[in-house]
């Protein structure tokens, strides 16, 4: 099975984070706004959200009309795997967020849902409409 890793982390300053990953590490840049940036790290998606000095009390941020967990990680999978997993988890006794479409009708459109692991970590499962747009800006 081919899958890409996705990790979302808080950062103090987008530009400093961007400079480190691109200039120091040699990663490439994906999509960016003034509050978040996607970094292509060996074909895995790191998303950094500017939140100042991070405090785990800052649990959410807003993307379009959606409130998302600031700290989460996930996996990018095919729509077939995404659908099978979503259906399986809905039938379990686990609390699963309702599926949502992000970046609708824009570059990077994808379906997502979240589930919390036993440690309290939020895990996002996402499937891109066009898998070639994972890092496209």
**Range 55-66 average pLDDT:** 68
Number of domains in the chain: 1
pTM of the entire structure? 0.66
Residue 94 pLDDT more than 90?
no
Please name which of 129, 126, 119, 113 lies closest in space to residue 47, comparing C-alpha atoms.
126
pLDDT score of 20: 85
Question: Within 13 Å of residue 115, how many CA atoms lie on the same side as its CB?
Answer: 17
Q: Residue 34, Cα to own-chain centre: how many angstroms?
A: 16
Among 61-70, 106-115, 125-134, the range scoring the smallest mean pLDDT is: 61-70
Please name which of 125, 100, 104, 103 lies closest in space to residue 114, comparing C-alpha atoms.
125
Show the domain range for 23.
Answer: 4-133
Domain of residue 127, CATH code: 3.10.180.10
Q: Where are any strands of DSSP class E within the chain?
A: 4-11, 28-32, 36-41, 44-50, 60-63, 66-69, 72-76, 100-102, 110-116, 122-128
pLDDT digits 0-9 by tens, 71-87: 778 888 899 999 999 99
pLDDT digits 0-9 by tens, 35-60: 899 999 878 999 988 887 766 666 67
């Amino acid at each position: 099975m081919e899958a890409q890793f996705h990790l979302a982390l808080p950062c103090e300053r987008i530009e400093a984070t961007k400079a480190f990953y691109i200039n120091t590490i040699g990663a490439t840049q994906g999509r960016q706004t003034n509050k978040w940036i996607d970094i292509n790290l060996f074909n895995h998606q790191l998303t950094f959200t500017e939140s100042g000095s991070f405090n785990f009390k800052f649990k959410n941020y807003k993307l379009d009309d959606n409130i998302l967990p600031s700290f989460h990680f996930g996996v990018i999978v095919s729509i077939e795997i995404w659908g099978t997993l979503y259906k399986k988890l809905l039938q379990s006794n686990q609390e699963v967020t309702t599926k949502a479409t992000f970046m609708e009708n824009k570059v990077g459109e994808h379906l997502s849902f979240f589930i919390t692991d036993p440690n309290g970590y939020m895990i996002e499962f996402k499937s891109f409409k066009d898998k070639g747009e994972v890092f496209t800006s």
